[in-house]
Structure 1
Amino acid sequence: MSSLSIFSETIEAAACIRKRSPLQPKVAVVLGSGLGAFAGSLTNSKCMRFSEAPHFPVSNVQGHSGRIHIGQCGDTPVLVMQGRVHAYEGYKPSQVVFPIRVMKQLGIEQVIVTNAAGGIREGLQAGELVLIEDHINLTGYNPLCGINEERFGPRFFDMTNAYSPRLRKLAHSVAEQHGHSLKEGVYIGVLGPSFETPAEIRAFRSMGADLVGMSTVQEVIAARHMGLEVLGISCVTNLAAGLQNEELTHEEVLETGKRAEAQLTQLLQGLIPQMAGLGREDAA
């Protein structure tokens, strides 16, 4: 599939989604494993399955329901992706980031990416929400390899502040208003689907990683390529391999994610209206 055809396909998918709702959101949210409850809190919401949008990849992973919601968070229009696809499902990098590129075609300017992550840094607790301050890409893929599509963004671009400092500052403020304190950390993205070995976790820790997961980094690269402002939130669903006595399972990830859903929903409900009020990052 050429980059030129991908651009056309994102336009087609966006046109289909746009027909579902008169709302024109500027903020979007990607909900990770077991973190889908926020979508149910929207008002005036219209919903469609990934499979109903042309060219949209469909997830087959438990905990990713594969729905697109356009509704309101308070009075603020928002687009919510309930679930995502992963490279370990057999999808190409261009397919993994296809939904993010469709968001750009829909007029999205700010995106919140959430995920379930293993905690590497000492002191992180299962069920805790952590803001992503930076990432390390060890997936083995970059979604921008190949011919560059200039209509998405430039060939080379800066990733210094991939995770917006001003949105992280705002998230801290909102959390404090609700009596919570958020930590920050570096997220390392791996391919999966197997969980990491204890030796790998020791190596990741020596590299400066605090969290590990199987998503997010490719989406953020594509988002920043297109000039979208990004906030990343990890839910620590388990301690990484070698740091707990129990065997790691996907069921544990989903169960812990559900315990964190209420706090995540509260954070997003306070955050999204204020994000929309900030306007574009380059206009700040």
Structure 2
Amino acid sequence: MAAKEKTGNAFVETIKTIFWALLIAGVFRTLFFQPFWIPSGSMKETLLIGDFLFVNKMAYGYSYASCPSLMLPGVGIEIDAKDVCGVFDGDNERLFGSEPERGDVVVFRHPVSGRDYIKRLIGLPGDKVQIKNGVISLNGTPVEVEDAGRFEEVMAPQGPQQLRPRCENGPVGQGATCVKSRQIETLPNGVSYPTLNITNQQSDNTGVYTVPEGHYFFMGDNRDNSADSRLAQRAGGVGFVPFENLIGRADRIMFSSAGRSMLFFWTWRGDRFFEAVR
């Protein structure tokens, strides 16, 4: 009898331990930092496929989007932030809210799909944004752009999705060098970062976007390979992003893997560990 009681008590204690561990992890992820794995090349070279970072959720305060989503469709688990915190959705306000700064690299919820995206903040509420020949114009003034050589990478499948990069030097074979033009872009507040160009396409020349109050305009640093605010939501883009949809700011890369899995230690990028995101 004593043995059964001991076994039963051990089982109950294990359940309690798991419960408290999950609760603490949930609170930590909701209030402080959320892990984010870079799945695509839309933010190259600032962020590469396979970079793993923690998103600072304290940077902009809290909204319904601060609640974590758990999307594991392969095992039938799809818990969206709105399922947990949807009662707080709709007022476009935040608790302890703080305005983001132009040039921040931000993780946010897509206004339609609810999926997490990461892009650079270009346009603030009230701004007029236009792209002319690939150069951003803010409120009628082009941003400063300086040529900065080339970005090179090997033509090969990248990351868990085995995505292949697009190249400015045309279609190249497996193992060949894939090239993109590189520029340094500087915003009016002095924030500078590299951008990449692949070709001249429709998104390099746009009309004028007037950013509504309480919304933001985002773009990827890999300009010709990014679905961002240049494309309307109804067309599969991001459009203008409401303040309440911001999740947090990307401050630092914690870990990076160039392979299909973070467990493949021979593909780790040791030079990107703990690198600041700028």
Instruction: Identify whether the pair has TM-score above 0.5, normalized to the shorter chain.
Output: no
TM range (shorter): under 0.3
Greater fraction strand: 2
Q: Tell me which structure has the larger Cα radius of gyration.
A: 2
